[in-house]
Structure 1
């Protein structure tokens, strides 16, 4: 793709990030583009597809900075079935896989532990990408508060849950303005929900798309997200 990968745009330089990722609105827009791609795989593709390797280096930017999901080498297709999480063998129901596959740091720990693949495994991986987008941190790196490398989930989620979002946000971007802060905080809560330890507690990709669409509208105009509704992202959807 003309403008490379999301990973390179986020991590190739420690200097000030320029366009297209130099504003919170731009980052949410990229996240929304990628979320729509994954939603298509889960909801509209026939048969449904689980990507299994969602990560920032597999999200590409085209000539007009639209994000595209790429690299289907680990993807699995499943028979058409109900999207009810309680139904087996569907895109959200459990599917036994001979061995867990993915990239360290992005892989759903539940999938790795139980060897059961669901669409919620892609949701976990996308949640890690959301945390990268918000923090500018690599998926695994050393933080000042820890002497050993940490996954971005371990670093960011406790601060988000404690309403200390400012400790997570990428310092290379100006802090969110009063009209942006609620939308950015909401995306933080959404990311935290995506990386919940149990798949049943994570949103679907359709819920994620709906939430990011609302966040983007809110960040581009008068806020439509109340403070009370952002305590948990799924309350808004």
Structure 2
């Protein structure tokens, strides 16, 4: 009798649920530890909770409505985790941070969904790929980021900077706009980078495209000859 009860218990849905939670917890810990080590916004606890939560909802859908219920729940998990991921994405000036963290949370939810669906081998395999993506690819990313920007082939964001007298900002804007239009570079916007009691630095952001450095050098040289402009230069960065 006791043996039969034990066999029933081990084969029960409750035990499978606990196993799903445990696997999601362990795998979420694996992914989250790497994130915590890197001091990312969403670290160990967040990734564990996302994985376990996804597993719980998927398991609940399965137990209530079978595979169809799991499918419904997973679709809601995918959309819901998008809102959570959006909360860790920050925009600082022209730089956007947190995209990798948001993607990792998305993957943690997928790991939890696999675990909740009792696809445990797949959950483990996905976790290995997620951790590998966040660790093994880092040297390659760093190498590519250190490469100089090829201004002839890379779609980049160009800025033309001018420093002018604080009383001649309007005239400097007009000259900046007119000179760049003649050079064939339309302006996306003109922003004020810095301002003191006597000087103002303006930056014209060009429409993202490839540009010829020689042409931009000529534009800068022409701007420096304009009376309202104290100095001029240009810079380039990758597009967000």
Give yes or no for TM over 0.5: no
Bigger relative contact order, structure 1 or 2 (CA pairs below 8 A, ≥6 apart): 1
Q: Which one has a larger percent helix, Structure 1 or Structure 2?
A: 2
Q: Which one has a larger percent strand, Structure 1 or Structure 2?
A: 2
TM-score if structure 2 supplies the norm length?
0.27
TM-score if structure 1 supplies the norm length?
0.28
Q: Which structure would you say has the larger Rg?
A: 2
